[in-house]
Amino acid sequence: MKTLGLLSFFLAMTAGAVSAQSHGHGAHQPYAGFEGRAIKSLSEEDLAQLRAGKGWGLALAAELNGKPGPAHLLELQAEIGLSKEQVRAIEALFAEMQSEAIAAGDRFIDAEAALSDAFAGDSLDEATLRGLLEASGKARADLRFVHLRQHLATVEILEPEQIAAYNRLRGYASDPCEAVPEGHDPDMWRKHNGCD
């Protein structure tokens, strides 16, 4: 009976795979070409963003809930009507964030490189894997904290109408799938916003 259950499961999975391929799903191999990456889980674009202290989409929980980030506030300072004092305060937040984000990004890159290298070898065991994942997870959480904490700080500097103007200028008052804000990668923006 157990064998019959496994056979039924296999046939159902095969039928699903054939059906998906006949509808154009599965015909494209989404990871083809990734095997040539130095760090398998990070693209060259990912590495460039992390090394430059860019947001890498890590602060979307704040950004899309009305807590602006310092980089975009500085880009839109004239349209939002930031005072000189506000600009100075936000510039200080941005400088601190970028410096810390570069260091934290380097730690995350190192952790992902160690994980990738471990899988390239033949001696990885579960205990070592757990340790590598914990190191990578902590590095990513630390990096995310660097970005998100500055979104909390900007709210203390801004007036509510400035936050509303920011959200409008960034396209958050409209359908996020139709209005990709300037400075965002359209594909990544649509992915993070569940657009198809």
Q: What is the pLDDT along the chain (196 residues), one digit of tens a residue?
A: 444 444 444 444 444 444 444 444 455 788 888 988 999 999 999 999 999 999 999 999 999 999 999 999 999 999 999 999 999 999 999 999 999 999 999 999 999 999 999 999 999 999 999 999 999 999 999 999 999 999 999 999 999 999 999 999 998 875 556 666 677 777 776 776 667 6
Task: Report pLDDT digits (tens) over 18-27.
Answer: 444 444 445 5
- Least Cα distance to 161 among 78, 63, 80 occurs for 80
Query: Which pairs count as long-range contacts for 113-119, CB under 8 Å and 24+ apart, including other chains?
Result: 113/38, 113/39, 115/41, 116/38, 116/39, 116/40, 116/41, 119/40
Is 69 inside a domain boundary? yes
pTM check: above 0.95: no
Which residues touch 16 (CB under 8 Å, ≥6 apart)? Answer: none
Task: Report pLDDT digits (tens) over 64-84.
Answer: 999 999 999 999 999 999 999
- How many domains does the chain divide into? 1
Residues 31, 100: Cα–Cα separation, whole Å: 31
Give the pLDDT confidence score for residue 23 in this predicted structure: 46
Q: Which domain holds residue 73?
A: 36-192
